[in-house]
Amino acid sequence: MVRFKNRYVLCEVVSEDARCRQCIEDRTVGLAVRDAIGRVHGDYGLACCSISFTVKYLNAYTGTVLLRCRKDSYRLLCSALPFVRHLESRGQRYPCALRTLHIGGTIRTCQKFLIRYNQEQLLMLLQNCTNEEERRCIQKSLLSCSLTEEQSQSGDEEDDGSTE
């Protein structure tokens, strides 16, 4: 049995319209990306990318999107992402762009990158704070950026095994 290798493309939805982030769905993003691939690379590019293309994760609040495609065709996908100019949702068009943040071989590497990226963004916000209350709030958010939830769950499992 052959294992198919995938690439995960971490993107950010950039839009000046705040309603765009509230109305995006994984189906909407997938259709917009497929349309851009078809326009840029034609039927061949669309067929290559459609084999295992999916939207694995979408956070409408932060505008973060994780796309999966086959390793052979990730360059076609990445070259078509700048041509996504709008997202259509519920009969309305919202102008936006997809900015590629990271390309990884696993979801885990994309998560690690996203944590580092968010920490850097919070540090930039911390430098631009105007009052002490904002500063405390951002410092609290900065300290909570980690993958400790998985680590604490694995620690609980070890404790459960030693009591039996």
**Where are the chain's structural domains?**
1-105, 107-148
> Which residue is it, tokens 């002490």?
132
User: Long-range contacts of range 75-80, CB-CB < 8 Å, 24 or more positions apart?
Assistant: 76/37, 76/41, 76/45, 76/48, 76/49, 77/9, 77/33, 77/37, 77/49, 77/53, 78/9, 78/103, 79/40, 79/41, 80/33, 80/36, 80/37, 80/39, 80/40, 80/41, 80/45, 80/49
The chain-wide mean pLDDT, for the chain, equals: 82
- The pLDDT tens digits for 105-154 are 999 999 999 989 988 887 887 787 788 887 787 777 777 766 554 444 44
Fold classification of 1-105 is Alpha-Beta Plaits (3.30.70)
- The pLDDT tens digits for 72-89 are 999 999 999 999 998 887
Global confidence as pTM: 0.76
Q: What is the pLDDT of residue 147?
A: 54
